[in-house]
Structure 1
């Protein structure tokens, strides 16, 4: 079957990455070609994809400079899918059929992963996601891994903390209808609410591209909830936080977010309105470990900004893939690399010490965080 038409933008991105990388390779070196599929355009998704791409670029440059892979050099073939699942499928097909990559890092959105990951599974190409948190993603097959902890392993802990800390009894929920990540986050949130016997007083939704949430928030305000639970991407979360405060929803009403809200852009867009939002994550920039501190320093030195959780998860994805390639001592055998990847346990990463669950999710203890909108950081929740 002929390959689908590949967009000019993605072709240029892939070709450009390959041209930039090739001159550095000596003839005797072995090259591991790795697909890097991130949304660096496409609205809210670009908030996450840019961070991941930058962190993976940083990791590859460090790994190649260290020459620690028995003569193997990592080459990233980068393509921006523009947060378009159809484009993600096209990119995966090219990476697998024409570029013959040994592995793929990405894509940014769970929606795109559900569309494209089955192609890699069928072809026997390992994929490591670093921002996909929708439940059941790795059940696509045994070549699918992720360093991003799924929502259903994080949110129940976050909600339980919020209920205990703020004596929450009545909750309202708002979520995005047309994105796999936000829909699945909402499903997890509804179950967690039911499991704790909380009263669900309102459920509101919106569609991708919406910027005015005043109608939904006005309905929610009328129900006088103790907390508002967000099943949203960071850009929409920021708008909801700002508009809620403008509509007179006071600080006594607690906002509880999902994993997708954990972005430095949340504070840039929401400012002080993000004060007090409660979220759960596998990592935050203030995490006290030598490896994490070194990563934060290196990222700041290279890009002039503080990395977010998606950068951290991308960085660990790059390093754990490199470790699998080192153990395989092979730059082209995808099945061997997959098997070595699956065998890794007690990996010392930025996220801490982790391995893989039976479903190839990273085994990391969730951390409850509080948003400090004035300082534009997430900090560890007291007493969590």
Structure 2
């Protein structure tokens, strides 16, 4: 998202997330990419996980002179934050961006407050590839609701396990053979094809999405075939 926001002309950004590993990692990754493109993170704000008392932070954000805000929240906390952000009058004048978890599975709970928000994630609703079309049709037929990124991740995890088991000798579970086969697999996913990096993270397209109604529709591929640098991982 750092690259996307810089390309959209933003220069000074405030970040906000929960004070825990995932939030800190997402903010660190955003900051690295945004500053590489010439942007400046003028303030990094954190609240204790899983707190949802956002008002003091919204008041602070409005006074910092930023031209945009980047956040990492998910679940019910994400829905409340977006509703509070709009209620505070910030949405119209201070563009809000986030990871895809901000709006994935939460748009209905936002009651329209999330409309138009831009996020980045490794999946978007209704990608134009045959695997995604078949997956979405099958999921709706089985569950009567549209799938989200969590459903896609579960589907892909099963594909990886199947690829690993196919590499094990018949009738035996060979841990090393399973891991080797999984590492070498190319997965045809609803998100697009991907393989695993040396650190066992997907090398995958990252999509810029716009919240429209109850879906996160694709705007463009923000970063093609992004590999997590996995700094500090002994496998890397």
Bin for the TM-score computed over the shorter chain = 0.7 to 0.9
**Which residue of the other structure, out of 209, 216, 224, is the alignment partner of 1:378?**
216
Query: How big is each residue's C-alpha offset from its partner over 1:279-317, in whole Å with a ceiling of 9 and x where there is no partner?
Result: 212222211111111111111122221111121122011
Query: How big is each residue's C-alpha offset from its partner over 1:111-162, in whole Å with a ceiling of 9 and x where there is no partner?
Result: xxxxxxxxxxxxxxxxxxxxxxxxxxxxxxxxxxxxxxxxxxxxxxx23223
**Which residue of the other structure, out of 228, 237, 240, is the alignment partner of 2:81?**
240
Match of 2:181 in 1: 340
The 1-side partners of 2:67 and 2:184 are apart by 45
Residues 1:357 and 1:225: Cα distance change in structure 2 (over 3 Å): same
Match of 2:38 in 1: 197
The 2-side partners of 1:291 and 1:223 are apart by 45
Match of 2:196 in 1: 356
Which one has the largest radius of gyration? 1
For 1:273, what is the secondary structure of its paired residue?
coil
Match of 1:302 in 2: 142
Residues 1:340 and 1:316: Cα distance change in structure 2 (over 3 Å): same
Residues 1:218 and 1:181: Cα distance change in structure 2 (over 3 Å): same
- Which structure carries more relative contact order (alpha carbon 8 Å, separation 6+)? 1
Residues 1:244 and 1:224: Cα distance change in structure 2 (over 3 Å): farther
Which ranges in structure 1 are unaligned for 5 or more consecutive residues? 1-157
Say which structure is richer in strand: 2
The 2-side partners of 1:209 and 1:383 are apart by 31
Match of 1:280 in 2: 120
Following superposition, the deviation at residue 320 of structure 1 comes to: 2.2
The 2-side partners of 1:255 and 1:330 are apart by 53
Say which structure is richer in helix: 1
Is the contact between residue 165 and residue 173 of structure 2 (CA under 8 Å) also seen in structure 1? no
Which ranges in structure 2 are unaligned for 5 or more consecutive residues? 223-236
Following superposition, the deviation at residue 223 of structure 1 comes to: 1.9
* Mapping of residues 129-278 of structure 1, within 5 Å: 158-165=1-8, 167-177=9-19, 179-264=20-105, 266-278=106-118
- Give the aligned CA root-mean-square deviation in angstroms: 2.0
The 1-side partners of 2:65 and 2:79 are apart by 21
Which runs of at least 4 in structure 1 moved beyond 4 Å after TM superposition? none
* Mapping of residues 88-99 of structure 1, within 5 Å: none
The 2-side partners of 1:273 and 1:302 are apart by 30
Is the contact between residue 162 and residue 278 of structure 1 (CA under 8 Å) also seen in structure 2? no
Residues 1:304 and 1:195: Cα distance change in structure 2 (over 3 Å): same
Aligned residues: 221
